[in-house]
Chains A and B, each alone.
Chain A
Amino acid sequence: MAENLQVELVAADRVVWSGEATMVIARTVDGDVGVLRGHAPMLSVLTDAVVEINPAEGPVVVAQADGGFISVANDRVSILSAHVLLAEEINVDEARVELEKAQGMLGVDDEAEQRIRRAEARIRAVEKAH
């Protein structure tokens, strides 16, 4: 059995991060889930939130995912999402503006809630990374 988890964080158009990690934390629709070595096979739906990866070496990787899935089997973890942004790729000011805009649209636009969730997740991701 491998010492560490094999993690792949994959967006629709690229591999965002891949490598060995000791722990992965993601938020599913049922709540936060932490994955360590030897986790039971699992397939779960993610919500728009922050994904945290503790790599075997180096600092914690924080990313924001717009929904998607986490799948765990045989110490392989793959996180799939249409859009994934690493914390260092996120523009906080832009996210704040987006959050305000979306809050203004609440009740008018059906997508406002989702936009709020995504913008908040982005801001949280940046805050966590620091």
Chain B
Amino acid sequence: MAVSLREYRARIKSTESMKKITRAMELIAASRIIKAQQRANAAAPYARELTRAVSAVATYSNVDHALTTEPASPDRAAVLVIASDRGLAGAYAANVLREAEGLVAKLQAEGKSVDLYVSGRKAEAYFKFRNRPVVKTWTGGSDQPTFEVAQEIGSTLIDAFLAGQELGAEGVHEVHLVSTRFLSMLRQEPQAVRLLPLEVVEGEAKPEPGDVLPLYEFEPSPEQVLDSLLPQYVVSRIWFSMLQAAASELAARQKAMKSATDNAQELIKKYTRIANQARQAGITQEISEIVGGVNALADATAAND
């Protein structure tokens, strides 16, 4: 009995220290998430203004650009998966990866071969374990993404896409993005969107085909403006998804760590009860042994008398 009592005490102790760790992680995630949310909000004006500018060009000029042209027969696609670097965030990484798998399966069913681009160590490990070739990975800082990384990812994908425009080249014909959208502290949703070729959402009213376009001056020329505008638009969309993914990761981690802490608390309660029971059982047994011994002694003395 005494052995198991000691065992239970050790278990309570280790659960307690585990609880301390998960509690600390919960608090860290909770404090970081506010910052991550602020960053995502701070990046929104840039994305909004850029979208407005792109839709202005798309609406008021008749220029076609390589990044907006639909390839005639797309048979190669790139998928960028944005996941986390670290686990302990509940089903966060698993959800993104499941969404990515769904998209890959869908693309393959359409007869397209898929190139994977991956951000986050969790996703990297997932594909590595399954021996799936990944074209390029970016790891580190998934909970605090920097604009430079977004720029690098953007230029890599744009280069791959532009290479795909030439016949027979080693490029892709479309680029998809799988990441997590931050809806609220309690809800994060994995989503898959097509990044390239760009579908420009036109905010301003589309002019009739016969209308004369208003005098929107493009300097130096509409082509050149689009040339530098569209890549930045793509980068900004990647950057925005990375910030949302970071906020989602932290929210998911906070939730997971909160339930881990609660579970640890439950476990400690349960173990404490069992330990108390074991202790009481030990005491009861000791008492009954003493009483039995005394009785035996008294019987022996009475028999001698």
Contacts and interface: CB of A to CB of B under 8 A. Distances in A.
Interface of A: 8, 10-15, 28-30, 33, 40-45, 67-69, 71, 73, 78, 80, 82
Contacts, number: 85
B204 to A, nearest CB: 9
Contact of A80 (B39, B50, B57, B215): B50
A89 B228 CA distance: 27
Given A69-B229, A80-B50, 12 more contacts: A11-B46, A13-B39, A13-B46, A15-B45, A30-B219, A40-B217, A42-B216, A43-B56, A43-B225, A71-B52, A73-B216, A80-B46
A40 B229 CA distance: 20
Contact of A78 (B49, B60, B214, B239): B49
A44 B219 contact: yes
A53 to B, nearest CB: 16
Please indicate which of the listed interface residues B43, B219, B225, B229 has the most CB atoms of chain A within 10 Å of its own CB. B219
Interface residues of B, number: 28
B220 A8 contact: no
Contact of A45 (B46, B220, B236, B239): B220
* Chain B contact residues: helix, strand, loop or mixed: helix
Contacts of B215: 40-41
A111 to B, nearest CB: 13
A12 B43 contact: yes
A73 to B, nearest CB: 7
B53 interface: yes
B52 A78 contact: yes
B14 interface: no
A94 B6 CA distance: 63
A14 B38 CA distance: 10
Contacts of A11: 46
Please indicate which of the listed interface residues B45, B147, B214 has the most CB atoms of chain A within 10 Å of its own CB. B45
Interface in B199-241: 214-220, 224-225, 228-229, 232, 236, 239
Interface in B225-259: 225, 228-229, 232, 236, 239
Please indicate which of the listed interface residues B42, B49, B57, B151 has the most CB atoms of chain A within 10 Å of its own CB. B49
